[in-house]
A and B are shown apart, each in its own frame.
Chain A
Amino acid sequence: MRNIIELRGVSKIYQLGKVEVKALDKVSFSIGSNDFISIIGPSGSGKSTLLDVIGLLTKPTLGQVFVDGVVTTEMSNDQMAEIRRKKIGFIFQTFNLIPRLTALENVMLPMWFAGVPDSEKKERGQQLLELVGLGHRINHKPNELSGGERQRVAIARALTNKPKIILADEPTGNIDSKSGKQIMDILIKLYKDEKKTVVMVTHDNSLAKRARKRIKIKDGKIIRRAK
């Protein structure tokens, strides 16, 4: 199985005055294509930072990140943006939908950045919203949707440019457990049916167990890997 993500000795150090905060401390691991990894660990252990580094939202202080076999250390901001646009879909705990835009428009946004033609944008956006079970809500604004529905819109948005990698930071953290199950089911479907690579941060052990692999992290270090 080819590695789609590989981290080699990655550290992320924040300088707070004279104090160094090691959000990540020499983390090395790799993720094969079509895999489902869950990351658990206490608050402040560096889970979100790990996802940010994998998702090329920030560069590590030390070490190297490979995405799809390409080293990203020397890349410019716009080169990283291009990889995010083409290969990575983000799902956030707080959904992060744009409040002024309808569900459909939110889903169409990444396609705008990718220069997809208008008619295709609309069609694909509708398809994706139907896929997450929101075909009847396409013209609703985020504040007219429930938390679970919002997160499903966010998932549809993450899928628009057909990324190979889905990064989800506590995707069920802000929604009730029933909706959370739905979200989880969709993520598992993406891994199993769509052959995506899913990396999910969670606090919930029972959800974490549904992933194919678990990584436990504490103080910026991986302390356990489990199948």
Chain B
Amino acid sequence: MIELLRVALRNLMQQRARSLLTLLGVIIGIAAIVALVSVGEGLQYAVNEQFEKMGMDKIMVMPGSPDSPGLSGMMFGMGELTDRDVKIIEKVGGVEMAAPMILESAIIEMGRETAYTYVAGMPVEKKIMKMIEDMQGYEIRAGRDLTESDKYAALIGYGVENDLFDKNVRVRDKIKINGRTFRVVGVMEKIGSRMDDLSIIIPLEQSKEVLNKTDYFYIIVDVKNGEDVSKVAEKIKHDLKKDRNAEDFNLQTSEQLKETAASILGIIQAVFVGIAAISLVVGGIGIMNTMLMAVMERTREIGVMKAIGATEKRIMSIFLVESALIGLLGGVLGIALGSLVSYGVSLAATSYTSIPIKTIVAPYLVVGALAFSMVVGVISGAYPARRAARMDPVEALRWE
């Protein structure tokens, strides 16, 4: 077996350029699989973590019909969520609290500079602030949190502090939001998502004023401990529908959100792996092509080996080991390249998008990719090797 490996390696080295090109085909296929699977898993992990933070006892109420969110809103006039709805929700049994949120982009001024960013209006009651902090995962780095007595006070994200203006924004600085002056009372720790870091949080009442809005972006409902979240959700839905006379709102428990996200991710993952698998099939065809060429070129040699007593099995194994070796080598290098790519993606994702993805190259993925690449090598080499083994020795020896 060691002898076979040595012989195979030697034969591959003989046609270096061709072997390398064939190898490249496998490397790309395997690297694609490894990178896509690990990025997919990282995504899944990130999303799960997000839901972990959010907690499984939350219900989100958003404007728009549940059948075609967004579209019906545009066509029939979006059902707006207002204080009236918040009151109804709060009255439903099992609801701990309901926190409406406003989110809108606004013009921010500091000194002579002007910038656009997101402004979020949130209720400043202590327990609501606490819940939202837990969900979003933000912490105060400098200054303090908003309190119930705050009016024109703002909490700024890491990105607002550092990137929005030429000069860093500090605690106690004055900024103008849509023309109204707010005092910065606190700076948040970096969250890692671009959109969160570029947000400014202000008290709900003041946000209604400066953003000129009375309807909410969404309402977060916290369910009391021990209550059945989906039953509470049903009740909220029932009461809202009765009051509004229409189902022009959309309601999702964290469980449902998680499931939706998981199924979307699942589809993305499947498509990714499908594409990667196709590229590996192409790599396999490359191996087959190379091996067929090798068998043809070495026809005479095969004749000689048969004349001096090599069995069909031996001839077959010589070529099979060669193609398996291409597969295995491509697998090893492909895993290395794929891991590198997935690491790069995680770096890029963390700094450019709102989802910090930690990609994971799991051990099962490494083992699986290695096994898969070798199987591809063996399968693509099987036909050429059989052809070599079945060659007629006399014809092979007379081959010019």
Interface, chain A (partner B; CB < 8 A): 52, 55, 57-58, 77-78, 81-82, 84-86, 89-90, 92, 96, 98, 100, 109-110, 112-114, 157-158, 161
Bound complex: CA A57 to CA B397 (Å):
10
Q: Encode contact with A along B296-329: 1 for CB under 8 Å, 0 otherwise.
A: 0000110111111111111000000000000000
A78: B residues at CB distance < 8 A: 311-313
Nearest CB of A to B304, in Å? 5
**Which of B10, B14, B394 gathers the greatest number of chain A CB atoms within 10 Å?**
B394
Nearest CB of B to A88, in Å? 8
A112: B residues at CB distance < 8 A: 3
Q: Take A58-B392, A92-B397, A98-B301 as given contacts and tell me if A84 and B309 are in contact as well, using a CB distance cutoff of 8 Å.
A: yes
Does B393 sit within 8 A of A, measured CB to CB?
Answer: yes
Q: Take A57-B393, A58-B392 as given contacts and tell me if A110 and B11 are in contact as well, using a CB distance cutoff of 8 Å.
A: no
Please determine whether B394 and A157 come into contact, CB atoms closer than 8 angstroms: no
Interface residues on B, range: 20 to 34
Interface, chain B (partner A; CB < 8 A): 3, 10-11, 14, 300-301, 303-314, 392-394, 397
Please determine whether B392 and A85 come into contact, CB atoms closer than 8 angstroms: no
Please determine whether A84 and B301 come into contact, CB atoms closer than 8 angstroms: no
Bound complex: CA A59 to CA B311 (Å):
16
Please determine whether A86 and B309 come into contact, CB atoms closer than 8 angstroms: yes
Total number of residue pairs linking A and B with CB closer than 8 Å: 60
Bound complex: CA A98 to CA B304 (Å):
8
Q: Which of A58, A77, A109 contacts B308 (CB 8 A)?
A: A109
A84: B residues at CB distance < 8 A: 306-309
Please determine whether B10 and A90 come into contact, CB atoms closer than 8 angstroms: no
- Residue of A at shortest CB range from B310? A113
B314: A residues at CB distance < 8 A: 113
Q: Take A57-B393, A58-B394, A92-B397 as given contacts and tell me if A113 and B11 are in contact as well, using a CB distance cutoff of 8 Å.
A: no
Please determine whether A114 and B309 come into contact, CB atoms closer than 8 angstroms: yes
Please determine whether A90 and B301 come into contact, CB atoms closer than 8 angstroms: no
A90: B residues at CB distance < 8 A: 307-308
Nearest CB of B to A165, in Å? 13
Please determine whether B308 and A57 come into contact, CB atoms closer than 8 angstroms: no
- Residue of B at shortest CB range from A83? B309
Give me 4 other A-B pairs in contact (C-beta within 8 A), A52-B394, A84-B308 excluded.
A57-B306, A58-B393, A77-B311, A85-B308
Nearest CB of A to B188, in Å? 67
Please determine whether A81 and B10 come into contact, CB atoms closer than 8 angstroms: no
B310: A residues at CB distance < 8 A: 81, 85, 113
Bound complex: CA A157 to CA B170 (Å):
87
Please determine whether A77 and B312 come into contact, CB atoms closer than 8 angstroms: yes
Bound complex: CA A55 to CA B301 (Å):
17
What are the 8 A-B residue pairs with the smallest beta carbon separation, nearest first? Answer: A85-B309, A110-B308, A96-B304, A57-B393, A58-B394, A113-B310, A78-B311, A84-B309
Q: Which of B301, B311, B394 contacts A81 (CB 8 A)?
A: B311
Bound complex: CA A89 to CA B309 (Å):
9
